[in-house]
Amino acid sequence: MEPVVAHLHTFLLFPFSIDRDAVLQRHGDLWKGRRWIDGLDGWIRAHDARAVGGIGRWQRSAYTSFTLDSQAYQDMVFFHPFIRRVYFDSLGMQAGEWQGEEMGGEGESQLRFYRIPIEPRHRVRLFASDERGRREEVAVTELRLILFANGIGILSLGLQAFDLTASRALWINEMMRKLYPSSGRQKREGRTPSLVRLMVGDEVVIEEDFNSCGIRNYLPPLSGLLTRLLYFADYENQEYEAVLDERMIVYTYVALDQRSLPDGFARSDDYRMFISRVLYVDHFAEGYRYDPAFIQEQMRQQLYTRWAHQGTYYGFTSYSAVTVCFGERDCDDHLLQEGFLIHRMFLSRYHLMALIALFYRATLLDFAERTALVSRRLDQDFGDGKLSPENIDLMDGLRSEFVIFSNYWHFDELANKDEEAEHFALFNRVFRIDPMKTEIGQEVERLNSVLNEYYQRRNTMAVNRLAMLSMILGGGAVLTGFFGMNFGAEFAQIFFQPPPHAAQVHWAAMLFVTIATFGALLFGLVLIIKNWEDYRDVLLPRGQATKARTSIRRVE
């Protein structure tokens, strides 16, 4: 028996990492005297001419009103105050409403919300088909973008459909999340789309057929759907990269039509089988796709069952977060006329928690890559016996950014209520946030230990050289002082006012003292020249490091 899905609402989430160094090399004039976060609006606006025709351009979408019935109030009120400060792009917070004409960088948070406005009359749709002749077309209801100050971004595509079979709903989730084929075989077998189109009315504004796929500069052939929507960043020029695999994260809401279900379905094993298909983003079929004992054990760890007695399940994997429920109804004192509670929570607090958890995972994966690349540079430097100033700056910057992530961005708890805290704990567990953070922290600290040991060794050698030079110069000072002292009698007659028969002794003494003095000075000069890097920063302090440094990722 195949259920009918009364309401499918899916957000396809694409996390990516911006190579800020590569961007600043090409567009550094947009950031002169400004922080990275404050230059993002200008960077996007500078590329508005490349916006997708028929869709529109990215526009700042900060919260600007905070009254009782505003979206900002309802989204923010459930979270701790420090979360409201960090994870909400809020303007006009002090006044309760934004009063300016243009949204600048005066917000406290270190992120920016953007949106491409989509009106129902535009009929924006996403179409996909495969080699087996299967095809679906679904309405695109939202295009959102979040850019963080650490270079991480999340692109969100909202898809929505009503009254469709479970087969169609699950095919939409499974196939439309694909960014590129993992092999030609996958495309030929119909396990990935062979054609994707973004349409406005009857006009095709973006089309991708995956016919020219190949890895270039270590980057996969990202779908034109994504590269065209992220028009302000140049994928071919390696200005950003995907941090996950060939699939977007599926954040989905599935409400079943109770009229299509037999009595007792909520407590049946058939319902658990259906939930497993939604949770693991599989095609619809009878039974479990994998070994039942294995799947049931996995689902015990990945399902949140506080509301299972009402048929509502929440599930979490490393590539999906799902809400599955029955129809629409009043939920205790939550009236349906105010909007269906489960769907409202899906759109608000749980959506924000999913984005924050995904940001954690993307940031840690980005740290893992950069830690490896910096370590490779250090290995090359140690082969030459010296660390370059640029690589030292990279190490210092990496450690500073990890400290900022740990102290500013990362929180184990977002809200005080048990349900929200338990949800977020499940997100953290399936995304492996804690073990990844611990591992990256240890790697960064090991790099810092290498840097400290390197500096300590250099300082020890510099002190030893200074001690040796001091002894030599001190010895010269003793000699010159000794001969400069006004000894009388025979000493003065021999060394200072010698008679003609003792002139050789006078000139020999002068020569010896001169050689010793200038030899000591020359030796000190040679030491400074040969070890100029040790003394350069002390004698000639470097100015503020340029923002447009060489990218460690970019393949020239």
* Model confidence pLDDT, tens digit, residues 126-139: 999 999 999 999 99
How far apart are the C-alpha atoms of 258 and 167, rounded to whole Å? 17
**Looking up tokens 């607090």, which residue turns up?**
349
Contact 357, 427 (CB under 8 A): yes
Banded pLDDT at 105 (limits 50, 70, 90): very low
**Alpha helix positions (H), 4-163:** 20-27, 40-45, 71-76, 81-87
User: What's the distance, CA 83 to chain centroid?
Assistant: 18
Question: What mean pLDDT do residues 147-173 have?
Answer: 96
Contact 357, 424 (CB under 8 A): yes
More confident residue, 446 or 115: 115
Which candidate, 245, 265, 401, 249, places its Cα nearest to that of 327? 265
Question: What pLDDT shows up at residue 547?
Answer: 46
Q: Is the pLDDT score of 272 beyond 50? A: yes
pLDDT per position as a tens digit, 173-191: 999 999 999 888 989 999 9
How far apart are the C-alpha atoms of 223 and 241, rounded to whole Å? 12
How far apart are the C-alpha atoms of 219 and 521, rounded to whole Å? 56
pTM: 0.87
Strand partners for 442: none
How far apart are the C-alpha atoms of 331 and 525, rounded to whole Å? 83
pLDDT per position as a tens digit, 294-306: 999 999 999 999 9
How far apart are the C-alpha atoms of 405 and 394, rounded to whole Å? 16
Domains of the chain, by residue range, sit at 4-62+103-347, 368-456, 463-539
Banded pLDDT at 354 (limits 50, 70, 90): very high
pLDDT per position as a tens digit, 243-259: 999 999 999 999 999 88
Contact 249, 358 (CB under 8 A): yes
